[in-house]
Amino acid sequence: MEELYTLEKEVGRGSYGVVFEGHMAKTGHRVAIKRLPCSNPECIELYLQELWAMRTMGHAKNHLNVIALHSCLLQTGQRSLKPLRPGKLPLRLVESVLKGSMGGAPQSQERNNVQSTTQRRTNPASRLQDRTNTAQGGAKLPDTTKSSTSDSTTPQRPPNRARKRSAQREEEQPGPLRCLALWLVMEYCDGGDLNQYLLSRPPDAQRNHSVVQQLCSAVAFLHSLGVIHRDLKPDNVLVCVTPKGPVVKVADFGLSKMCEGVMDGDRTRQRFSSTCGSDFYMAPEVWGGLSYTAQADIFSLGVMFWAVLERITFLEEGATQEQLGAYVCKGRSGWLMPLGEALWENADLQLCIPMKFKRAPPLPPPPGPAMCALLLDMLASNPDARPPADQLEARVRSALKVDSH
């Protein structure tokens, strides 16, 4: 590793991997390096899905507001790393997913409980194919058991809502064919995630408006490529600090799905069935276990926009750090119900935008009438009533312009 990159320090840890700050050995350029231990087929499928989605975006020329992948390395020994060629998948890992086993790898693993706000679970019956596309960057990584109308083999949200998950680490064992880990080398963001960045600073309306518009642009780009994120939330938006203001980057594509082909002229109309994502940002149809489309991303984005513009925060069960997110208060005890869950239970629920209460001081000015109307459209119970991503940028610009007058 030191011949290519120098690891400096750990900067993040989740259920599936560890992120380090590092530098390119030759240029000294700062990078983020994520180590994903290949401990079981279920985790490996998530890693390959993330790798393929990021490569697809790279082939389409990286968007300013989407995290860029510089390279991917496969670790086969304690000090043995090899770069993966563009357009190629590590066949040993694909084989592990297809067989549902680690090919004779030891079953003993260290388990370390870590905090995670994302509920993820993979169906052991899922399958992957290795397809190399040499003609274009829009290649797909399909499941061999998936129909055109469902993704029932993708990561499943567990029935309980426990906030703690078990992170699995690999005990590195010798062996020429053993795949110990994938290392993803990505651009480094020095401002932390969107929660950390915005809540550590006084509210600023111009900054908030810039963040909202950048996120619109990012999601429009993803959906144009047929990439459905399925876990949009402030934790998965990173920030680069620049003299001209924050540049936000949508990240973490482990739960993303690639739409296969065009349906009625629009790839984003493909339907999915796996219930996955994070409680406070999931759309009503996802909460209800219904099939859903890319419009579920628009609902998640609406929750984020509302939270950013009004500085609405909440504390998750068992956590002490404030998170940006909108919700509905239920009962005298002030129990917080996610918007998606509340709308699933009552599709006619009237959301109060602006909220005017339960906001984190100091308070920014509330969004104007035009922006409030747009937020209500993004948070509509009916997915078809939400604006598609390719229209959202123009609508946000128009709403902000109208409200400024």
**C-beta of residue 16 within 8 angstroms of C-beta of residue 44:** no
* Cα dihedral across residues 376, 382, 385, 389: positive or negative: positive
DSSP character string of 52-73: HHHHHHHHT---TTBPPEEEEE
Residues 255 and 231: beta-carbon distance below 8 Å: yes
Q: At what angle do helices 295-310 and 369-378 cross, to 10 degrees?
A: 140
The catalytically annotated residue of 193, 231, 252, 279 is: 231
C-beta of residue 216 within 8 angstroms of C-beta of residue 396: yes
Q: Report the C-alpha gap between 144 and 126 in whole angstroms.
A: 8
| Phi, psi angle pair for 222, to nearest 5° | -60, -50
Q: E strands, 98-215, where?
A: 110-115, 164-169, 181-187
Place of tokens 């924050």: 246
Q: Could you give phi then psi for residue 167, rounded to 5 degrees?
A: -90, 135
Tokens of 20: 């380090």
Is 6:13 a contact under the CB 8 Å cutoff? no
Q: Give the DSSP H or E segment for 13.
A: strand 5-13
* Vertex 9 angle, CA 8 and 12, to 5°: 140
Phi-psi region of 103 (alpha: psi -120 to 50; beta: other; left: phi over 0): left
Gap between the Cα atoms of 371 and 286, Å rounded: 25
Dump the DSSP string for 97-112: HHHTS-SS-----EEE
Q: Is 252 assigned a catalytic role?
A: no
Q: Hunting for tokens 């990584």 — which residue is that?
A: 141
Closest by CA to 31, choosing from 84, 81, 68, 83, is: 68
Q: Which residues are catalytic?
A: 231
